[in-house]
Amino acid sequence: MSKGKINVSVENIFPLIKKFLYSDHEIFLRELISNATDATLKLKHLAAIGEAKVEYGNPIIEIKVDKKGKKLHIIDQGIGMTEEEVKKYINQVAFSGAEEFLNKYEDGAKDTGIIGHFGLGFYSAFMVADKVEIISKSYTDAPAVHWSCDGSPNFDLKKAKKTDRGTEIILHIADDSTEFLEDNRITELLNKYNKFMPIPIKFGMRTETLPKPEDAKEDDPAPTQEVDNIVNNPEPAWTKQPADLNDEDYKGFYRELYPMQFEEPLFHIHLNVDYPFNLTGILYFPKMTQDLNIQKDRIQLYQNQVFVTDNVEGIVPEFLTMLRGVIDSPDIPLNVSRSYLQADGAVKKISSYITRKVADKLNSLFKNNREDFEAKWNDIKIVIEYGMLSEEKFFEKADKFALYPTVDGSFYTFEELHEKTKNTQTDKDEKLVLLYASDKEAQHSYIEAAKAKGYEVLLMDSPIISHLMQKLETSKEKVSFVRVDADHIDNLIKKEDTVISKLSDEEKEKLKTDLEETITNKSYTVQLEAMDSDASPFIITEPEFMRRMKEMQQTGGGG
Ligand code: ADP
Ligand code: MG
């Protein structure tokens, strides 16, 4: 048996760990299971290259709660550690990692949100335990070792009896952390952080129902057996090749990710890149509800199948945070603040890659099945319109597939619209004038009047559409959007077959003066126009800019 002193400059690092990470104590389990996973994968690698002369087999990681003894065990069958390795990796490496993390964290503490509080590693165990033991047997011939530490910089190291390969970590749970002795709490954590980790994780046993034997009687109970309760799926869909997955697999994975979501996603985008950065993932377009604030099923960020956070702000462009799914990348720096993250070169590349993939997917859906794309338009337009407003690169791509519906239910791209209207809907400056309605019911007579003149009338009723129209007006040459009840409509270059009014000139004059007396708001103009239908014989218009000014004031900010 030997005793030693952990070599550190900050003697009281343990109280610091507790203090700084107070709200995130639960991550200790993720850190310890990550280490167990790393140790197992290292063994797999060494066995594969012939360095370790061992049978790799089907190793698992086991979590055990000993409520009476107030202990939590994390047991792996990985590479293990020799005495020398414990001294080196635990006393020095792990400790310096913890120290470095704390220094960084102290600096960044004022800056909000270090992502997932990664990097603290092994020593995060001391957030919940007042004593930690390691019993480890290396895959080599070296004897097993037993390390223990009570949270002071002093540790004990002695020989152990363990004969099977791997490491067992024993946490003596502190009195203020007894929640981590509850099965429910552990299950919750395993579900949150470890659901898709690559090595099977066992927590307790469960009863499995077997098929009835052939000769069983009708009311014989089906036989059962006790099996390991494996809590994770070590091979989640995003780690596979798109070619090996079908539509059902993608939908199945969506249900796995969001068990409480009953609505199916509209479509998915499989992300898979290994240069110049590493990223895999699957994004889903859900049906968009107007009320996006209540959305709690968000995109989840993983690192090598370990859950980090579901706040991907700064990593994907804001308009895509409305999507769902998984992003897994080891190239996203985690122990930094959000503001640092946004300036990081790799993260910028990742963000624009995701934007491009989403645009490409939408474009191929549009090209390959236009009918289906039109049918989905109302459910996806918020994301697309918001993206067009906020990301220039996305605007350029989306301009080819963004749809503008008419009041009659047709859908046109901008280019198609241009083609359709360029000969009939220009004003004297040769500007294309695109007419739209924002409310089919309220603007009914104006719509009918415009249609009677042979004009196309768009239906623009999205929440941010006035900003998008302004964006189109500034990025396209000579285009203006004009609502059907605006006075502009009168200045359009008319087609030859103008319909004749049912009123005589005298009747018109009389009506006009009467109306002008009644309508006191001088920003409106009374027009007595040629009407063919049963629609009103006159219309009252307001200049487009006046109306839009009011609207912008209501919805705030420009695009
Ligand atoms: P990191 O995992 O980032 O290296 P940690 O503090 O989590 O930092 O762990 C420090 C080191 O301790 C690991 O790099 C590894 O060498 C060793 N270690 C920790 N847990 C285990 C384990 N279960 N089996 C084998 N080695 C381990
Ligand atoms: Mg670690």
Task: For residue 548, say whether it is annotated as part of any ligand binding site.
Answer: no
Tell how far CA 406 is from the center of its chain. Answer: 32
More confident residue, 203 or 123: 203
Taking residue 401's Cβ as centre, other Cβ atoms within 10 Å add up to 19
pLDDT of residue 260: 84
Tell me if 146 sits within 8 A of 159, measured CB to CB: yes
271 closest CA partner among 142, 357, 356: 357
Ligand 1, atom 1, residue with closest C-alpha: 121
Quick one: how many helices (H) and strands (E) in the chain?
A: 15, 21
User: Does the structure show a pLDDT above 90 at 127?
Assistant: no
pLDDT for the residue 98: 66
Nearest Cα neighbor of 350 from 299, 298, 285, 274 is: 274
Contact 363, 533 (CB under 8 A): no
The token pair at 429 is 């400056």
* Residue 35 marked in a binding site: yes
Give the pLDDT score at 536: 59
**Confidence bin at 297 (pLDDT 50/70/90):** confident
Q: Which residue has the higher pLDDT, 551 or 413?
A: 413
Ligand 1 center–CA 38 separation, angstroms: 8
334-391, pLDDT tens digit by residue?
766 777 777 888 899 999 999 999 999 999 999 999 999 999 999 999 999 999 999 9
Please give all residues whose beta carbon lies within 6 A of any atom in ligand 1, as ranges: 31, 35-36, 38-39, 76, 78-79, 81, 89-90, 93-94, 97, 121-122, 167
DSSP letter assigned to residue 213: P
Q: What b/e readout covers 32-62, taking b as 16+ CB neighbours within 10 angstroms?
A: bbbbbbebbbebbebbeeeebeeeeeebbbb
More confident residue, 548 or 408: 408
Supply the DSSP symbol for 100: H
What does R_g of the chain's alpha carbons equal in angstroms?
33
pLDDT > 70? residue 102: no
196 has a pLDDT exceeding 50: yes
Average pLDDT, the chain: 85
81 labeled binding residue = yes
Ligand 2 centroid–CA 56 distance in Å is: 22
Q: Name the least confident of 186-190, 279-283, 334-338.
A: 334-338
C-alpha torsion sign, points 528, 531, 535, 537: positive
Q: What is the pLDDT of residue 514?
A: 78
Q: By the 8 A CB rule, do 469 and 490 touch?
A: no
pLDDT given for residue 21 in this prediction: 62
Range among 355-364, 440-449, 519-528 with highest mean pLDDT value: 355-364
- DSSP for 262-302, please give it: -SPPSEEEEEEE-SSS-EEEEEEEPPPPS-GGG-----EEE
Amino acid identity for residue 513 in this structure: T
Residue 529 CA: distances (Å) to CA of 45, 517, 525: 82, 19, 12
C-alpha 165/C-alpha 78 separation (Å) is 7
Highest mean pLDDT among 394-408, 455-469, 506-520: 394-408
**Which residue bears the tokens 């792990």?**
94
pLDDT band, residue 112 (cuts 50/70/90) = very low
Provide the residue type at 536 as one letter: S
Residue type, 249: D
**Which ligand 1 atom lies nearest to the CA of residue 42?**
25
Residue with tokens 């077997």: 210
**364/356 Cα distance (integer angstroms):** 12
User: How distant, in Å, are the alpha carbons of 257, 270, 285, 288 from that of 191?
Assistant: 10, 23, 23, 26
* Residue bearing the CA closest to ligand 1, atom 19: 35
**What separation in Å is there between the alpha carbon of 5 and the centre of ligand 2?**
22
**Would you place residue 555 in the very low, low, confident or very high pLDDT band (cuts 50, 70, 90)?**
low
pLDDT beyond 90 at 393: yes
Query: Quick one: what percent of the chain has pLDDT higher than 90?
Result: 55
Cα-to-centroid distance, 7 and ligand 2 (Å): 19
Residue pair 64/163 in contact (Cβ under 8 Å)? The answer is no
Q: In the predicted model, is pLDDT for residue 554 greater than 60?
A: yes
* Ligand 1 atom closest to 121 (CA): 7
* Lowest mean pLDDT segment, chosen from 105-109, 146-150, 477-481: 105-109
CA distance 102 to 106: 6
Substitution site in 13, 77, 89 for ligand 1 pocket (most atoms within 8 Å of beta carbon): 89
- Between the CA of 113 and the centroid of ligand 2 the distance, in Å, is 20
For residue range 143-154, list pLDDT tens digits in order.
999 999 987 778
* pLDDT value, residue 468: 93
Helices (H), 407-503: 414-421, 444-452, 465-475
User: Is 555 flagged in the annotation as binding?
Assistant: no
Q: Is residue 31 annotated as involved in ligand binding?
A: yes
pLDDT of 559 above 50: no
Contact 61, 200 (CB under 8 A): yes
What six digits make up the tokens of 100?
């470095």
32, two tokens:
């310890």
The answer to whether residues 447 and 435 touch, using CB atoms and an 8 Å cutoff, is no
List the structure tokens of 129: 């335990």
Mean pLDDT, rounded, for 505-534: 67
The pLDDT tens digits for 156-167 are 999 999 999 999
Of the ligands numbered here, which is closest to the C-alpha atom of 100?
1
Cβ atoms of 16 and 153 closer than 8 Å = no
CA–centroid distance, residue 2 to ligand 1 (Å):
21
> Is 430:478 a contact under the CB 8 Å cutoff?
yes
SS3 content of the chain, % helix, strand, coil (to 5): 40, 20, 40
pLDDT tens digits for range 313-333: 889 999 999 899 999 998 888
